[in-house]
Amino acid sequence: MAKIKVANPVVELDGDEMTRIIWQFIKDKLIHPYLDLKLEYYDLGIEHRDATNDQVTIDSANAIKKWGVGVKCAT
């Protein structure tokens, strides 16, 4: 089965702990087998937010504004 080509990137917002595991499972089982897309990755885990003084949050919000879509597993 041919993958569906997605024209624009999707902003991927990663979280903490179990959400990373759940999100990886979703990508492996439901997204990558069926969609040909680029994910623009942002680590919104607490350690990375602290290390960037929350700049990563601003950068990810701007990426969502630019591309029009973002996905984050609930925390």
Report the pLDDT value the prediction gives residue 17, as an integer from 0 to 100. Answer: 85
Q: Is the pLDDT of residue 16 over 90?
A: no
Going by C-alpha positions, the residue among 30, 37, 25, 34 that lies closest to residue 2 is 34
Question: Model pTM?
Answer: 0.88
Spatial distance between the Cα atoms of 23 and 18, rounded to a whole number of angstroms = 8
Q: Where are the beta strands (DSSP E) in the chain?
A: 4-5, 10-14, 35-36, 39-43, 70-72
For the chain, the domains span 4-72
Render pLDDT for 34-70 as a digit per residue (tens, 0 to 9).
999 999 999 999 999 999 999 999 999 999 999 999 9
